[in-house]
Copies of this chain bind each other. A is one copy, B any other.
Amino acid sequence: MPDSSRRNESSRRAILTAAFDLVGEIGYAKLSIEGIAARAGVGKQTIYRWWPSKGAVLFDAFLMMSEGEAGELPDTGDLEADLKAVLRATIAELRDERYDLPMRALNSEMMHDAELARTYAERLDVPMREMKKARLRKAVEAGQLSDVDLDLAVDVIWSPVTVRWMNRSGPLTEEFADTVVETALAGLRP
């Protein structure tokens, strides 16, 4: 097993940057370890030494890119407005090619790689979800939300956007974001 204290940090960064950029440029299907190594000016073995799979490289690339990204969700006191703002921002990001392609690549890979999915959940999904739950918890305390399971609440609010993005099953508009929030909060019953 490799001795990580001897690891060359600049190679690591070059690999992750190359991977992220290449996925955006040529797409996941054409992404190859050889391509990443060549672009990063690195031997293939240096990739194989430190990552078990292409997906793992991509995941670390994501981690690096989103490093120190978020802190917490906005809280203006108006829950509905805050959620709409966040969902609109998410949609804007998903419509940006620079994020869309790499995210599709990562999600696609997670689809068959359970281990990668687990790591993703732990390192990226859980922190994000905690932020979301924190905002909802404040709403519960303020009496603006019923005392449901917060994980479920997060699922109900964010899933429709995720699915529409993944499957391209409809247009990803800001109106969609707004209506989803309204419906999730109010429910479908009259």
Residues of A whose CB lies within 8 Å of any CB of B are: 27-29, 104-105, 107-112, 114, 117-118, 120-121, 125, 143-149, 151-153, 155-160, 162-164, 166-170, 176, 179-180, 183-190
- B152 and A189 form a contact (CB under 8 A): no
Beta-carbon contact of B29 and A189 below 8 Å: no
Minimum CB distance partner of A129 in chain B: B169
Least Cβ–Cβ distance between A164 and chain B, in angstroms: 7
Contact B189 A117 (CB under 8 A): no
Residue of B nearest to A166 (CB): B111
Q: Are A114 and B159 in contact (CB under 8 A)?
A: no
* Nearest CB in chain B to that of A144: its residue: B189
Q: How far is the CB of A140 from chain B (nearest CB, A)?
A: 9
**B residues less than 8 Å from A145 (CB atoms):** 188-190
With beta carbons under 8 angstroms apart, the residue of B111, B149, B160, B188 that contacts A187 is B188
Known: A143-B190, A187-B184. A168 touches B112 (CB 8 A): no
**How close is A116's CB to chain B, nearest CB, in angstroms?**
10
Residues from chain B with Cβ under 8 Å of A110 in the complex: 166-168
A188 to B109, alpha carbons, bound, how many Å?
Answer: 33
- Which among B149, B160, B179, B189 is the interface contact of A159 at CB below 8 angstroms? B160
Whole-angstrom CA separation of A108 from B108 in the bound complex: 5
Cβ contact within 8 Å between B167 and A180: no
- Chain B residue at minimal CB-CB distance from A80: B189
B180 A155 Cβ-Cβ under 8 A = yes
Q: Which residues of B contact A117 (CB under 8 A)?
A: 167-168
CB distance from A148 to the nearest CB of B (A): 6
Min C-beta distance of A98 to chain B, whole Å: 15
Known: A112-B105, A155-B163, A169-B121. A186 touches B184 (CB 8 A): no
